[in-house]
């Protein structure tokens, strides 16, 4: 036999406070707001009663009554990458400064789960929705934008989609990365893509910008991926030519595994294999790793997203591009 569950704890309402204080509910509402005409004794009795009953205002109900939400929502693609923690902290800080509460959910990069997660978000009636790394198509985003004010982070969208975007300057990031690797004496480059289940929509653009930057620098460039394991990808890249290889990992999470795989293959880092990546998280900063990485400035991304949702002109589509910053570390320091 299962024990009988305890009844759910109920929260005191304004009607409960009114009954306990012997006044009308309307008078309670006025007293709690510091408004209305009543004696000091009555106001104090209401406040004391509310405190005794542990009354807390129902923010959701108040927003519904006022028809104005003070909530913003963000749906993250996954939590494996610490960059999303940096972005979430920046978004929460910016939202709080603007007088809003941020609600965060995770879709795990699955199309059906992302769709159901967004449905959950819409039921909260947020003032705006932020989507970093979304897999939704431009058409799907256009339709979603008709239901909620929307900002997409780290994604290029056609102007016809009519969706606000805030993103890293991928061309600038690729140029800085390739220029640095060439300056360190790497004679060929490879781009390391994550396994299929961890691929975000921006991957293709990041790869092509790196390919373009390599072509401009006159240096050989190939793509390898982690589908068969990172060791396998690095082995393939090393076997396609001779001379020191500069490996550009899609993000710091992948770069950490690339360092371990390179060392397990007996490669000297950075002399034979240099590793550069994106996001500049705490993983890249670790002294025993010291990975060169592109800083995406998550606080600037967050500031742009909040501006797009709360203050931008609704008659024009908001777009902001955040400049890249290359942070050089030991993983590429051949010279």
Q: Which helix (H) or strand (E) covers residue 20, if one does? A: helix 14-21
Query: How do the pLDDT tens digits run along the chain, 335 residues long?
Result: 444 444 445 678 888 889 999 998 888 888 887 777 888 888 899 889 988 888 876 655 555 444 567 899 999 988 888 999 999 999 999 999 999 999 999 887 666 677 788 888 888 889 999 999 888 899 999 999 999 999 999 988 988 899 999 999 999 999 999 999 999 999 999 999 999 888 888 999 999 999 999 999 999 999 999 999 999 999 999 999 999 999 999 999 999 999 999 999 999 999 999 999 999 999 999 988 899 999 999 999 999 999 999 986 666 789 999 999 999 999 999 98
CA distance 85 to 298: 10
Pick the CATH number of 170-296 from 3.20.20.70, 3.40.50.2300, 3.40.50.620, 3.40.50.800: 3.40.50.2300
Task: Give the per-residue pLDDT at 38.
Answer: 86
214: helix, strand or coil: helix
Per CATH, 71-168+299-322 and 170-296 having the same topology is answered: yes
| Total-model pTM | 0.80
Domain ranges of the chain: 14-57, 71-168+299-322, 170-296
* 118 and 330 Cβ atoms separated by less than 8 Å: no
Domain 14-57 has CATH 1.10.260.40: yes
CA distance 107 to 114: 5
Q: Which CATH superfamily is domain 71-168+299-322 in?
A: Response regulator (3.40.50.2300)
* 102 and 91 Cβ atoms separated by less than 8 Å: yes
For the beta carbon of residue 57, count every other beta carbon within 10 angstroms: 13
Torsion angles phi and psi, residue 273, rounded to 5: -130, 120
Task: Give the per-residue pLDDT at 318.
Answer: 93
């Amino acid at each position: 036999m299962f024990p009988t569950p305890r009844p759910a704890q109920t929260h005191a309402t304004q009607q409960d406070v009114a009954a306990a204080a012997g006044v009308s509910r309307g008078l309670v509402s006025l007293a709690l707001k510091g408004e209305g005409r009543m004696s000091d004794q009555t106001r104090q009795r209401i406040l004391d009663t509310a405190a005794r009953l542990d009354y807390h205002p129902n923010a959701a109900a108040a927003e519904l009554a006022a028809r104005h939400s003070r909530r913003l929502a963000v749906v993250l693609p996954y939590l494996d990458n610490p960059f999303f923690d940096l972005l979430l902290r920046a978004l929460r800080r910016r939202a709080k400064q603007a007088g809003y509460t941020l609600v965060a959910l995770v879709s795990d990069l699955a199309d059906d789960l992302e769709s159901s997660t967004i449905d959950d978000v819409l039921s909260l009636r947020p003032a705006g929705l932020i989507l970093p790394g979304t897999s939704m198509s431009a058409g799907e985003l256009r339709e979603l934008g008709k239901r909620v004010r929307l900002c997409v982070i780290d994604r290029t969208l056609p102007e016809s989609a009519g969706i606000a975007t805030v993103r890293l300057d991928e061309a600038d990031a690729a140029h800085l990365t390739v220029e640095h690797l060439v300056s360190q004496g790497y004679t060929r480059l490879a781009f390391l893509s994550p396994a299929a289940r961890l691929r975000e929509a921006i991957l293709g653009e990041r790869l092509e910008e790196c390919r373009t930057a390599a072509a401009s620098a006159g240096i050989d460039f190939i793509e390898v991926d982690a589908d068969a394991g990172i060791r396998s990808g690095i082995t393939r890249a090393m076997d396609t030519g001779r001379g020191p290889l500069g490996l550009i990992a899609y993000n710091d999470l992948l770069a950490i595994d690339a360092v371990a795989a390179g060392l397990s293959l007996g490669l000297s880092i950075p002399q034979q294999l240099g590793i550069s990546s994106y996001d500049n998280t705490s993983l890249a900063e670790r002294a025993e790793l010291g990975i060169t990485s592109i800083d995406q400035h998550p606080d600037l991304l967050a500031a742009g997203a909040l501006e797009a949702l709360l203050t931008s002109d609704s008659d024009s589509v908001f777009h902001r591009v955040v400049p890249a910053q290359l942070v050089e570390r030991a993983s590429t320091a051949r010279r």
